[in-house]
Amino acid sequence: MKTWKRLFFAPDRSYRGRETAHAEAQKACPKKAIELDLTDLTHGSPATVLGFERRSEPSLPGFDLGMEIFEKSLEGLTSIQQPNDSIPSGFDAGVLLAWRDMGMLFDKGCDKITFTLNHRDTPLVSEYTPRGLQSIQARIKGPQLNVRTVEGRLLMADFKEYGARCRVHPSVGDPILCLFDEDKKEEILDSILHYVRVVGEAKEDPNTNKITAIRIQGIQILEGKENEQTDILPQGSPLPSDFWSSPTLEELAEAQGVHPIKDISVLFGTWPGDADDGFEEMITAMREQSVPERDK
């Protein structure tokens, strides 16, 4: 279902960018308009059928943003499987990678995926085939510069101080810095500590040709490799939930049971100590030792 959502969220963003008479409705219903529930599952030979129902109905009569997005996505699927067709509006690299990831079903015995949108008297039908997957893969590799694939354990995500970044630890070689955009945040969070495959535009050291950084366009958890590199996973007890919080001085004092002193006499005898404790002599000796010979 995560891959399924990625197929529609990018076209959703492009629709929200349009200026139409229903601009306010677009702002109000981005993700809710395309949320689906699995309501039917028929498993058998020669096909498995999945049925989905929408969670919400359009808020404005005669205007259904969610249905427009579904239509746009399925019509776009037909176009991106044709080598000579242009990429539809809203189909960025993330959408192409999501369709590529769904194409992994072809490696598991599936020979065709058929989508049927039953919203009109004549349903909208779009087919996804192994040959279409090859066209999508060619588009991903095509006009972009130095697109590379890296596999490894995903660790050390940082969403704040230095921008969105994380590290992938390959089985061989040094960790690779990965950068990503805000719309990839949820996928990165879901993939932390897992063994993943990352695809994106890479920067390389010109002297060694090693990848120094990669901007993530797509990420996929490799379930078959989860037993690799388990030795680099964090050990011990997990950090407390408030570890990264920034409490005020008052909150720290309350948590540690520190309260204002009501009787100043409780400090008597604690500093500077007894009159003959040798403190002044020690300070004088330290100062004399630090004076350069030429100043003596």
pLDDT in tens, 7-54: 665 554 444 444 443 444 444 445 676 677 777 888 766 778 888 887
Q: What is the pLDDT of residue 22?
A: 41
Mean pLDDT across the chain: 76
Q: What is the pLDDT of residue 21?
A: 38
Q: What is the pLDDT of residue 24?
A: 45
pLDDT one-digit tens code per residue, 59-118:
666 667 778 888 888 888 898 898 877 888 777 777 888 888 888 888 888 889 999 988
Mean pLDDT computed over 257-263: 82
Domain ranges of the chain: 2-141, 147-230
pLDDT of 285 > 50? The answer is yes
Q: What is the pLDDT of residue 130?
A: 92
Q: In the chain, pLDDT over 90 holds for what percent of residues?
A: 5
Cα distances (angstroms) measured from residue 269 to each of 48, 185, 264: 83, 57, 11
Q: In the chain, pLDDT over 70 holds for what percent of residues?
A: 72
pLDDT of 159 > 70? The answer is no
pLDDT one-digit tens code per residue, 224-237:
888 887 777 766 55
Mean pLDDT computed over 261-266: 78
Q: What is the pLDDT of residue 174?
A: 86
Cα distances (angstroms) measured from residue 1 to each of 7, 9, 34, 38: 10, 12, 12, 10
Mean pLDDT computed over 171-197: 85
Q: What is the pLDDT of residue 129?
A: 93
Mean pLDDT computed over 132-147: 77
Residues 173 and 203 sit within 8 Å (Cβ to Cβ)? no
Pick the range with the lowest mean pLDDT from 56-60, 65-69, 159-163: 159-163
Mean pLDDT computed over 120-140: 87
Please state whether the predicted TM-score (pTM) of the whole model is above 0.75: no
Q: What is the pLDDT of residue 13?
A: 47
pLDDT of 274 > 50? The answer is yes
Q: What is the pLDDT of residue 240?
A: 59
Q: What is the pLDDT of residue 17?
A: 42
The CATH code for residues 147-230 is: 2.40.50.140
